[in-house]
Structure 1
Amino acid sequence: MQKVPTTTLSRATLMFPLALVLFEFSVYIGNDLVQPAMLAVTRDFGVSSTWAPSSMSFYLLGGACVAWLLGPLSDRLGRKKVLLGGVLFFVLTCLLILLTQNIYQFLALRFLQGFGLTVISAVGYAAIQESFAERDAIKVMALMANISLLAPLLGPVVGAGLIEHVSWHWGFIGIAAMAGLSWFGLKSKMPDIQVSVPKRSLRYMLQDFKQVYHNKRFLIMTASLPLLSMPLMLWIALSPVMLVDELGLSSVEYGLSQFPILGALILGNLVLVRIVDKYPLGKTVLIGVPIMLVGALILLFGTFHQDYVLPCILLGLSLISFGEGIGFSIVYRLALMSSEVSKGTVAAAISLLLMTLFFSIIEIARVLYEHFHIISFAFCCLVLLLLWFTLPRTELKKIMQERAANQQF
């Protein structure tokens, strides 16, 4: 693996992450604004509201389908060229969705828009990890997460406003405009990171992926990422149907309900930035996941006591979000650095596995929700977090012990 020169975090070097996070914000709000508007979309296309979660799952599936290509392509052509091309493609698909006439065309364009997720995860994140030293990279990722979390905070409110006053079409116009603005920032401020990778055939590219996927540590750490992030993602996918259709909240009340949950995630990321230098890498994960488990139990309790269901949802998911905030960036870093293969390929392998798992879990949860409603959501969250206490926790402790033996803290 070639060593790429890294830099320290400063006001000047922060301009590239800020330009990248504007695109990340556009991609995320491309989900978080659209999900509450999906009730209006399904009405316009004359289909059941249970189609609403499919907008998110097809978005994630689109991200999975090009991960194998974009990472290695950015190794060869450079991160900057691939990232700029990906931003332009995302802008185009946001505008084309305005022409859709039925739910199938809509989901096809959502699938194509999902490519933007891989542009972020397989190219943008790899560039961040290569540009900054280890703990600075974790801080940058946490700060980027805080800014991008404005998307799920503002998205439901803006989406509710679109439903009430104008059309969901205007949401995609706004998303395309923001992504277009980020393109100019990236073109100006992103360093042109060139990783010297010899031109090789598709067979050799596949061998690199094979090497990554045969790495046991990589598989365990990457598979643990959805265990931490899926409870909140399931909430974003299902909450419009859960709160508006089932619990009878208004669109505005639905939007406001997101604030304590996603505010807790922002708080968790801020806490991580403050304490990441003070503790061994991985310690915050060991603290955060038990907090998340307590949140899942509170959530499950609420499903059996209807008088307390909404307070339990808000409290339980707030604890889950806080725990994710202090742990997710650490696990992502450890997964990315668990293989010696070039980081574009490793990031692409992470993205491919994650997006596939995200799509599968959301679709399974959607089907379960149709039959068992809110209780199925609570059980899904609990099962995901209990799974983390198996191989992922054991592997994380091994990594921490190895780092301590090598005096890496």
Structure 2
Amino acid sequence: MSTPKLSLNKLTFLFPLALVLFEFSVYIGNDLVQPAMLAITKEFGVSSSLAPSSMSLYLLGGACVAWLLGPLSDRLGRKKVMLAGVAFFSICCLIILLSQNIEQFLFLRLLQGTGLAVISAVGYATIQETFDEKDAIKVMALMANISLLAPLLGPVLGAFLIDYVSWHWGFVGIAVLSFTSFFGLKNKMPNTPPTTTTPLSFKNMYLDFKEVYRNPRFIGLTLALPMLSLPLMLWIALSPVMLVEDWGLSSMQYGWAQFPVLGGLIAGNVLLVRLVDRFPLGKTIFIGVPLMLIGAILIVIGTIWQVHFLTLLIIGMTCISLGEGLSFSVLYRFALMSSDVSKGTVAAAVSMLMTLCFFLVIELVRVTYDAYGIWMYSLTCLGLIALWFTFPYALIQKIMREKASQATHH
């Protein structure tokens, strides 16, 4: 059964607003905690090399349950699964306060990561089903801007907590925000009917996922997503070690260094909202990705010419984030619509493949960073973005030609 499409107005935006409050809670659950990880590893008496594991396990937690949440929401309705997921995340944020060692802390970070799957496999699928194509992209870009307050405020708040209070209060604040979003979603989220009548069984889920993953267009578009988003994810994961430990910045200087980088992402999303009605859908990707390549090249130049490293790193990362803002929401829409399977399952398939890529690359760079330092970081960023100009570039061109042809026939 297809859901009637809503037009974007003040009333219909209340649901995305409630969803983005939860998204903000989940993101700040990473961005506020990462700056505090050096203090947390010290408190538990373990090496600071474990600091990025807090983020990679958080991401892995999302990948571990997406396979179930998406198909479950196809069969039970999105709203029930969404509310259960928000409640579970909130409770995990409170339980982590009882951690006695780093193992318990990291295990609870894994459980908290389920919040990421709730957003990507249930929340985003609902947005794409509720609004028409261009409105859905605008909503995703506007939501991204609100949720970007998390990585903007997170490092500064994290630094404040380390210097003046305790990391524990960060999780209390996150739980309060998450519980608030629960009531907003309960009142404003559309109560959409199930999108499939097939019973929930491992066999049916397997057949659905098999159909999605056997679709070469889906695989190509979904693998293109981490190529664009991983440079910024690596920045969030590694910048505490890179800027504070290696380059001697204070916690507050580290926090301020995030503003131009994440401000670039906000600017990119604002531009996308303004341009999406003026250009053929997909055109902004061909503006954004070359800008990201320029940014990656600047970071490599800074790695060679180290006297200007910090300046070139921040300018380069700002170019990368601006380009990502122009590209990501459109590419995500293309990936989600590349399969005819129920959208909860497709969104879960996107989430699992993306998060697995995030986990593997972040852990690989974390492990090799000790040996190769900023060279590992800068060359990984350049390699990921350069790789986008292979099969994803050709695939997006093909999709745009098809859309132009359909528009001509109509």
Question: Which TM-score applies when normalising by structure 2?
Answer: 0.98
* In structure 2, C-alpha distance between the alignment counterparts of 1:135 and 1:406, rounded to whole Å: 16
Alignment of 1:245-284 (within 5 A): 245-284=245-284
Amino acid corresponding to residue 49 of structure 2 in structure 1: T
Q: Does 1:15 align with 2:51?
A: no
Amino acid corresponding to residue 328 of structure 1 in structure 2: F
* In structure 1, C-alpha distance between the alignment counterparts of 2:300 and 2:151, rounded to whole Å: 23
Q: CA deviation at 1:158?
A: 0.1
Q: Does 1:94 align with 2:89?
A: no
- The answer to whether the Cα contact below 8 Å between 2:62 and 2:113 also exists between their aligned partners in 1 is yes
Alignment of 1:154-165 (within 5 A): 154-165=153-164
- The answer to whether the Cα contact below 8 Å between 2:195 and 2:342 also exists between their aligned partners in 1 is no
Deviation sequence 1:89-122 (CA, Å, 0-9, x none)? 0001101111111111111000000000000000
Amino acid corresponding to residue 36 of structure 2 in structure 1: A
* In structure 1, C-alpha distance between the alignment counterparts of 2:196 and 2:389, rounded to whole Å: 38
Deviates further, 94-103 or 139-148: 94-103
SS at structure 2 position matched to 1:406: helix
User: Percent identity of the aligned residues?
Assistant: 63
* In structure 2, C-alpha distance between the alignment counterparts of 1:4 and 1:399, rounded to whole Å: 25
Deviation sequence 1:15-39 (CA, Å, 0-9, x none)? 0000000000000000000000001
SS at structure 2 position matched to 1:407: helix
Deviation sequence 1:166-220 (CA, Å, 0-9, x none)? 1101100000000000000000111101134114232011100000000000000
Q: CA deviation at 1:134?
A: 0.5
Deviation sequence 1:130-182 (CA, Å, 0-9, x none)? 11011000000000000000000000000000000011011000000000000
Q: Does 1:183 align with 2:186?
A: no
Q: CA deviation at 1:5?
A: 1.0
Residue 322 of structure 1 is matched in structure 2 by 322
* In structure 2, C-alpha distance between the alignment counterparts of 1:109 and 1:212, rounded to whole Å: 31
Amino acid corresponding to residue 139 of structure 2 in structure 1: V
Residue 397 of structure 2 is matched in structure 1 by 397
* In structure 2, C-alpha distance between the alignment counterparts of 1:281 and 1:134, rounded to whole Å: 9
* In structure 1, C-alpha distance between the alignment counterparts of 2:370 and 2:385, rounded to whole Å: 22
Amino acid corresponding to residue 277 of structure 1 in structure 2: D
Question: What is the count of residue pairs matched by the alignment?
Answer: 408
SS at structure 1 position matched to 2:121: helix
Residue 120 of structure 1 is matched in structure 2 by 119
Q: CA deviation at 1:4?
A: 1.8
Q: Does 1:103 align with 2:87?
A: no
Residue 142 of structure 1 is matched in structure 2 by 141
Deviation sequence 1:56-85 (CA, Å, 0-9, x none)? 000000000101100010011110000000
Amino acid corresponding to residue 146 of structure 1 in structure 2: N
- The answer to whether the Cα contact below 8 Å between 1:4 and 1:195 also exists between their aligned partners in 2 is no
Q: CA deviation at 1:288?
A: 0.6
* In structure 1, C-alpha distance between the alignment counterparts of 2:375 and 2:52, rounded to whole Å: 17
Residue 333 of structure 1 is matched in structure 2 by 333
* In structure 2, C-alpha distance between the alignment counterparts of 1:346 and 1:27, rounded to whole Å: 21
* In structure 2, C-alpha distance between the alignment counterparts of 1:218 and 1:196, rounded to whole Å: 20
Alignment of 1:183-262 (within 5 A): 183-200=182-199, 201-262=201-262
SS at structure 2 position matched to 1:10: coil
* In structure 2, C-alpha distance between the alignment counterparts of 1:194 and 1:358, rounded to whole Å: 32
| RMSD over equivalenced CA pairs, Å | 0.9
- The answer to whether the Cα contact below 8 Å between 2:292 and 2:323 also exists between their aligned partners in 1 is yes
Q: CA deviation at 1:369?
A: 0.8
Where structure 2 has 5 or more consecutive residues not aligned to the other structure, the ranges are none
Deviation sequence 1:353-395 (CA, Å, 0-9, x none)? 1111110010001012111111110000000001101110011
* In structure 2, C-alpha distance between the alignment counterparts of 1:59 and 1:287, rounded to whole Å: 32
- The answer to whether the Cα contact below 8 Å between 2:2 and 2:195 also exists between their aligned partners in 1 is no
Alignment of 1:16-35 (within 5 A): 16-35=15-34
Amino acid corresponding to residue 37 of structure 2 in structure 1: M
Amino acid corresponding to residue 394 of structure 2 in structure 1: T
Q: CA deviation at 1:267?
A: 0.2
Residue 57 of structure 2 is matched in structure 1 by 58
Q: CA deviation at 1:304?
A: 1.2
Q: CA deviation at 1:3?
A: 2.3
SS at structure 2 position matched to 1:46: coil
Residue 358 of structure 1 is matched in structure 2 by 358
* In structure 2, C-alpha distance between the alignment counterparts of 1:371 and 1:324, rounded to whole Å: 29
SS at structure 2 position matched to 1:85: helix
* In structure 2, C-alpha distance between the alignment counterparts of 1:325 and 1:193, rounded to whole Å: 29
Residue 373 of structure 1 is matched in structure 2 by 373
* In structure 2, C-alpha distance between the alignment counterparts of 1:75 and 1:301, rounded to whole Å: 48
SS at structure 2 position matched to 1:327: helix
Q: CA deviation at 1:50?
A: 1.0
* In structure 2, C-alpha distance between the alignment counterparts of 1:45 and 1:185, rounded to whole Å: 37
Question: Which TM-score applies when normalising by structure 1?
Answer: 0.99
Amino acid corresponding to residue 399 of structure 1 in structure 2: I
* In structure 1, C-alpha distance between the alignment counterparts of 2:387 and 2:313, rounded to whole Å: 21
Amino acid corresponding to residue 11 of structure 1 in structure 2: K
